[in-house]
């Protein structure tokens, strides 16, 4: 069915997946993935039922094959609050309409790999997500041993935010998964202070910090003035004591002189 030979004259184009693609789409999924997908999934893809998709075709192939899929990506729009990853988004619970785009499957037939087709398909998804004002990120899962896919997403600036133990169950064996995110439309990691705090809250916090610093400065200034006052008071007392001691000493000297005794 799909047995292409890539040449330097290949003309790769991208289009939505159509009902006529269902057989080849199911065939490629069966060859590429260890997970078996139900027929209902393919029906939803080709009919656009809650799933968006793009297919890659090589227009330079002979007639009858020039519109045959050689790559694809499928995705779904989900509510952020129902995604299970809101802790990775700096989620604002007040904005209940925030959404995400979840990549379901991505694949390119072997003969067409390493030609940038997978990257182009993912860019289609990113552009689509960016066009949705409420969307904050594109996210997906990658099985832990798929090094090529992991390197692809890292190269495309996706963030690996979590490792999920035993996420996949394939032929009775569990495999870990990596969770990748690509932020769009101002979406941020929860590590960002502007994500955790709204602008108004951030200003309130900043105002509180400035007020606290001013209060601390006034307190330190007051203490310094108080200490300086104590020093002045001590100096005055010392001066007074010195004056009294000098007067007493002079009186004693005067008494000695009057009596003629030496003072040792």
Residue 58's alpha-carbon distances to 5, 108, 137, in angstroms, are 10, 12, 30
CATH architecture of the region 12-195: 3-Layer(aba) Sandwich (3.40)
Q: Which of 55, 58, 54 is nearest to 4 (CA)?
A: 58
Question: What is the average per-residue pLDDT within 226-238?
Answer: 54
65 near 112, Cβ under 8 Å? Answer: no
Please state, rounded to an integer, the average pLDDT across all residues of the chain. Answer: 80
Q: Spell out the domain ranges in the chain.
A: 12-195
A 10 A CB-CB count for 22 gives 16
53 near 41, Cβ under 8 Å? Answer: no
Question: What is the average per-residue pLDDT within 192-211?
Answer: 50
Residue 96 has pLDDT above 70, yes or no: yes
Q: In terms of pLDDT, which residue wins out, 18 or 248?
A: 18
Q: Dump the DSSP string for the chain.
A: -------TT--EEEE---GGGHHHHHHHHHHH-SSPPPHHHHHHHHHTSS-EEEEEEETTSPTTTTTSEEEEEEEEEEEGGGSS-GGGTT--TT-TT-EEEEEEEEEE-GGGTTSSHHHHHHHHHHHHHHTSTTEEEEEEEEETT-HHHHHHHHHTT-EEEEEEEEEEEETTEEEEEEEEEEE-TT---TTSHHHHS-HHHHHHHHHHHHHHHHHHHHHHHHHHHHHHHHHHHHHHHHHHHHHHHHHHHHHHHHHHHHHT----
> What's the whole-model pTM score?
0.70
A 10 A CB-CB count for 51 gives 19
d(C-alpha 14, C-alpha 144), whole Å: 29
101 near 135, Cβ under 8 Å? Answer: yes
Q: Which of 5, 116, 105, 119 is nearest to 51 (CA)?
A: 105
What own/partner pairs with CB < 8 Å and gap ≥ 24 does 198-204 have?
Answer: 198/92
Mean pLDDT lowest among 49-63, 77-91, 103-117, 204-218? 204-218
Query: What band does 240 get if pLDDT is binned at 50, 70 and 90?
Result: very low
| Max CA distance (Å), the chain | 141
Q: Write the pLDDT tens digit of every residue in 122-163.
A: 999 999 999 999 999 999 999 999 999 999 999 999 999 999
Which residues fall within 8 angstroms of residue 128, CB to CB, at 6 or more apart?
A: 52, 75, 101
Tokens 């200034």, residue located:
221
Query: What band does 257 get if pLDDT is binned at 50, 70 and 90?
Result: very low
Q: Which of 156, 157, 154, 175 is nearest to 165 (CA)?
A: 175
């Amino acid at each position: 069915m799909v047995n292409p030979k890539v040449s330097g004259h290949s003309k790769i184009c991208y289009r939505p997946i159509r009902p006529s693609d269902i057989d080849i789409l199911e065939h490629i999924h069966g060859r590429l993935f260890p997970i078996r997908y139900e027929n209902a999934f393919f029906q939803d893809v080709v009919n656009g039922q809650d799933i968006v998709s793009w297919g890659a075709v090589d227009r330079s192939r002979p007639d009858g094959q020039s519109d045959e899929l050689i790559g694809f990506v499928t995705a779904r729009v989900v509510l952020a609050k129902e995604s299970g990853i809101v802790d990775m988004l700096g989620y604002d619970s007040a904005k209940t309409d925030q959404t995400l785009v979840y990549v379901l499957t991505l694949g390119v037939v072997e003969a067409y790999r390493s030609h940038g087709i997978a990257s182009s398909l993912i860019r289609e998804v990113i552009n689509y997500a960016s066009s949705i004002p409420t969307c904050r990120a594109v996210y997906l899962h990658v099985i832990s041993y798929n090094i090529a896919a992991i390197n692809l997403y890292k190269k495309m600036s996706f963030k690996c935010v979590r490792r999920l133990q035993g996420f996949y169950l394939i032929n009775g064996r569990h495999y870990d998964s990596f969770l990748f995110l690509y932020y769009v439309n101002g979406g941020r990691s929860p590590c960002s202070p502007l994500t955790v705090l709204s602008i108004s809250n951030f200003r309130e916090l900043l105002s509180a910090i400035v007020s606290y610093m001013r209060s601390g400065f006034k307190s330190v200034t007051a203490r310094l003035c108080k200490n300086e006052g104590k020093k002045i008071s001590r100096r005055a007392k010392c001066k007074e004591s010195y004056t009294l001691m000098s007067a007493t000493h002079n009186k004693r000297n005067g008494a000695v002189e009057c009596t003629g005794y030496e003072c040792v």
